[in-house]
Chain A
Amino acid sequence: MAKKKLGLKERYAALTRGLDWETTYEPMDEVFPYDRYEGIKIVDWDAWADPFRLTMDAYWKYQSEKERKLYAILDAFQQNNGQLNISDARYLSAVKIWLQGITPLEYVAHRGFAHAGRAFRGAGARVACQMQSIDELRHAQTQLHAFSHYNKYFNGMHNFAHMRDRAWYLSIPKSFFEDAYSAGPFEFVTSISFAFEYVLTNLLFMPFVSGAAYNGDMATTTFGFSAQSDESRHMTLGLEVVKFMLEQHEDNVPIVQAWLDKWFWRGYRLLGLVGTMMDYMLPKKVMCWKEAWEIYWEENGIALFHDLGRYGIRLPKHHEVAGKEKHRLTHEMWTTLYQFGNALGLHTWIPNDEELDWFSEKYGELFDTMYKPRLLYLRELEEKGERYFNNRLPMVCQVCQIPVFFTEPDDPQTQCVRIVEHSGTKHHCCSDGCKDIFEREPEKYVQALIPPQQVYRGEAGGATNIFEYAAWLHLERDVDTGEYRGSPDHQHWLEWQRRHKAASPDEAA
């Protein structure tokens, strides 16, 4: 028989799209009960353009090669005490933020994409989401396996699974992803694949993975680079799903726009933590938050939204506020983390002189007049043996769950608080962006669990003060929490450096 040569597209269609059928013994709406209630209208699922035509044979081939290399390096890292090669043990606070805040989200993403991978009526969309679901599982597990070694030598990581579901500051990432997973499949994919992974991904990935590379963290660098090709697939899916919805029906445009407004702002708020990590926790700096925001949002992100203009999409609401905040976001966030250090599973500290100079160079006058004096004052207190802690839990935003500490967009000296009322109860929001999100779906956001309020209700193991609260989080005082200088992590680091290197960068500083 004469053999025909199948093109990639044709082969993919035969091996994937052709598997599906219109059910007749059970109604399609019963088989796919979740892809209509959000109001997105899909006229023709066949118009879905598969963003990556990956069949399982190729998937296994690529992924198994990547896993072999990755685990060989992780084994070598462990065998050779790779933890000794990082720039400084302060860097571990970045790893702790990742393990406590980001790794658990990879698992939620695995579940959320399984949800979307079962929900969509179109076979192409289902398979793309299924592949992302198992990729996300990969990311959760490779991160655990990479961080497992650090956990053996440093504190603050051992109880991450317990803290993930309880700690006030981990409510920020937890509520973000649960907001997405509790939404319908279209909103879920818009939020995670498009807003988070396509528009904002560089602002998450670059600080962590380049930060790891700059700071000698071979384990994180390796899984980060290994995940990169997965991420580019995921980004393509994000763009495809948004374009698909916009092309399918004009009624979808306002729905998608509202989701983009919401998830831009929600993603930006979450990235505040990442920016702070990048500016303050990396002993060797990659770039500052302001620069990253300018490149990845103000140049690339805005250009992308201009491309979507032909579908009737405009820039996300309040994006200009993010531009105003870029000069101060991380400084405001760091002093917040610094003062609530008794209830954090990571260490905080005041930057050294060299770092203060770097901030002056990057952030200019506003830093020198507003934030540097504050940091110097806190340093002075510390030197007097009066390291400052705020031992009351902060009031947090009803939507993003970040403490209400941001300042007014046009006035960095005035705290920004927005109050919304729903069914006779007042709720606090940190910004107009979060207030808008609340007002669009009040029924959803009144459900949010607000950790400080749980404490006051006695639902945190009956804790009556911050130390009891930290103990309820399984945080050991001044071991997992508190000031970096003098902590066991710091002391171990100095000891290991003495034994294994001539001098430590920490001592030199």
Chain B
Amino acid sequence: MPKLLKDQQISNDHFQILNQDESEASLPEGNLLLHISAIDAAIQANTDHNGQIGIWFDSADEPEIVAGTLNQFEVIAVNFPKFMDGRGYSIARLLRERFDYRGDLRAIGDVLVDQLYYLQRCGFSSFRLREDQNPGYAVEALTTFSMDYQTAADNLTPVYRLRHQL
């Protein structure tokens, strides 16, 4: 079972991720992530399904189109088809900073230990690690740097403001 890093803890990730075409059929039991193309089904399931329901974006998807519905969901995931595909970092910042998503924002797909620091800065709060990743390194990776030069979704004060106690 995939490992989930959340709140500094490693646990098993019980969510099942449904592909775009799977979301139409009758939903399986348990916690589910539905693709945003099935947003209506997801909204419905969120009221009557027995497990937790979340939605997920692929890297080419535009969060703009479902902006109003986001905070209904406790979990929203962004997929990294390949770790070199960096679009998910921008999607995460948009979800947090522009659309004010306050639930659990989860990185899924090709999620590697060495990307966790940047993912966290862009607003991700949980990480479904690729199966071969060493969870032992994951928690440490979140504290690679103790300060940052830029503003991002983590709302930490950037160095150019820290310097002047702003």
Partners in one complex: no
